[in-house]
A and B are shown apart, each in its own frame.
Chain A
């Protein structure tokens, strides 16, 4: 029973899912971005007939192949975990997750995996044009796979397009398009794939820089830097643009997450954008949680109000507005949401009682209640609050949210600078002489990985305590299995993924040192 829920079970289940998701995400973004870089390089080869472009394409395709092969099926473990560790959640989400994931499996994955065979083994066996089309389809298929996974994740941030059925205890999809075009899904898809493009461009730029440092493969390196520089600069600008759009959407659909990532406790007009800041604990509290303050900050006055509300007089909501409510702004307090959630829970409990005594009229009446729009909008959308003890429990970890967001943003601007400098030096013809920059480019390869993981950390940690925003807490979602079994599989995954990662890096490094075939 939930009242006896083992918190260490919840924590270990979360740690296990985080571990697998973090490792899985080390493989995915390179596939998303490098597939398009390959397609662009091969297009140039087909259009110009220049064999050097074929050689360049095949070199990067080898590295793509290593990453693709090592990373493939690592995501399936997450689906295993849904059924074993998160069974209440899996059941509750119903076909909302099933439909996008099925489409992903049938369309995107098969598109990607069919043409990846042609891409790798079809050189000189199929026509140039057919091979090129296959490479493009691999890129499109890989990114479409990401779309459907992100649509499912976006629903967890902003659940739309469904009605809860008390008979099956599942959410049933009533509007596929609302789920697909959920604003969070659109933002998340564009931001995620563009960050994958950026990551791949930095990977190509960094390795090309290494060739120049070693005074090897000059032509391959410079042509690769040209593609990576242009693709990376455009992608990093797109990342900044989509990141801005994504933050605006978060401010509307997950305002508590937004206030946490800005460490904004008290709402205000003329709110400044924190460029850089260091948080410290204070004696002030929200319930039992300490309020953080800035020990140091660099702030652009009014910019947060401008970005979120259009002008500097726009009011940016703080955590206190959500904890206590703000009548003027129409923000409902957490205690009121808890009351609404408990009412929805009581209606569900009365359905169960009616079922036990086989009270058919009552069963039918309650089913209609769950279909009623007013009940859904006023009560059921806060269903998860029935599990909340204290208002402050809905505040995520402010320190993690703040630093993960701001570090990601700082890195995002650094990437724009690196790609700009790379193109400037390349066009000036001095890139080979600028050893400092070549080392910066090489050492920057891990940075987009860190930024990408920080983005996911913010997305998932910033949503806490929810697994489905406002509707289900993480604690309610977990299966009542033994903590020991979760710890065992956690250790197994840690070992398995670490071995896979070491294998990938060692095979890749060896292949890079070997260089392209002549």
Chain B
């Protein structure tokens, strides 16, 4: 394998590990799926967010 090919493969493996193992598992858990049990609760939560008050803009 060429020198650049070896470097690129190492970068790909490290990058995929960081993205799919570290970031996905520890930092990017799906907010609605982790905080609400079923789709009904999720939709209720979103409706609450949609119908409550206005945004604040400075």
Which residues of A line the B interface, CB within 8 A?
Answer: 1-3, 5, 7, 62, 65-66, 69-70, 72-73, 76-77, 80-81, 83-85, 87-88, 90-92, 166-170, 345, 348-349, 352, 383, 386-390, 393, 465, 472-473, 475-476, 479, 481, 485, 488-489, 492, 496, 500, 503, 507, 510-511
- Give the chain A neighbours of B44 by CB distance below 8 A: 169, 352
| A interface majority secondary structure | helix
Nearest residue, chain B, Cβ from A90: B32
Q: Does B21 contact A (CB under 8 A)?
A: no
- The residue among A72, A80, A465, A488 with the most chain B CB atoms within 10 A of its own CB is A80
Please report the C-alpha to C-alpha distance between residue A485 and residue B31 in the assembled complex, in whole angstroms: 13
Let me know if A92 and B55 touch, CB within 8 A. Answer: no
Which residues of B line the A interface, CB within 8 A?
Answer: 4-5, 7-9, 11-12, 15-16, 18-19, 23-24, 27-33, 39, 42-44, 46-58
- The residue among B32, B44, B48, B54 with the most chain A CB atoms within 10 A of its own CB is B54
- Give the chain B neighbours of A168 by CB distance below 8 A: 39, 43
- Give the chain B neighbours of A70 by CB distance below 8 A: 8, 11-12, 15
- Give the chain B neighbours of A503 by CB distance below 8 A: 7, 11
- Give the chain B neighbours of A479 by CB distance below 8 A: 31
Q: Which 7 A-B pairs have the closest CB atoms?
A: A80-B28, A87-B31, A475-B55, A83-B30, A169-B43, A3-B53, A479-B31
A-B CB contact pairs (8 Å), 21 listed: A2-B55, A69-B9, A73-B16, A76-B19, A84-B29, A85-B31, A87-B30, A90-B32, A168-B43, A169-B50, A345-B50, A345-B51, A465-B57, A473-B55, A475-B56, A476-B49, A479-B31, A485-B27, A496-B18, A507-B4, A510-B4
* Closest Cβ–Cβ distance, residue B19 to chain A (whole Å): 6
Let me know if A92 and B51 touch, CB within 8 A. Answer: no
Let me know if B11 and A386 touch, CB within 8 A. Answer: no
Please report the C-alpha to C-alpha distance between residue A29 and residue B28 in the assembled complex, in whole angstroms: 27
Let me know if A389 and B4 touch, CB within 8 A. Answer: no
Please report the C-alpha to C-alpha distance between residue A352 and residue B40 in the assembled complex, in whole angstroms: 12
Let me know if B31 and A348 touch, CB within 8 A. Answer: no
Nearest residue, chain B, Cβ from A62: B4
Let me know if A492 and B27 touch, CB within 8 A. Answer: yes
A2 in contact with B32 given A69-B11, A80-B23, A489-B27 (CB within 8 Å):
no
Please report the C-alpha to C-alpha distance between residue A485 and residue B27 in the assembled complex, in whole angstroms: 8
Let me know if A169 and B23 touch, CB within 8 A. Answer: no
- Give the chain B neighbours of A349 by CB distance below 8 A: 51
- Give the chain A neighbours of B15 by CB distance below 8 A: 70, 73, 496, 500
Please report the C-alpha to C-alpha distance between residue A88 and residue B52 in the assembled complex, in whole angstroms: 13
Let me know if A389 and B12 touch, CB within 8 A. Answer: no
Let me know if B27 and A465 touch, CB within 8 A. Answer: no
Let me know if A77 and B43 touch, CB within 8 A. Answer: no
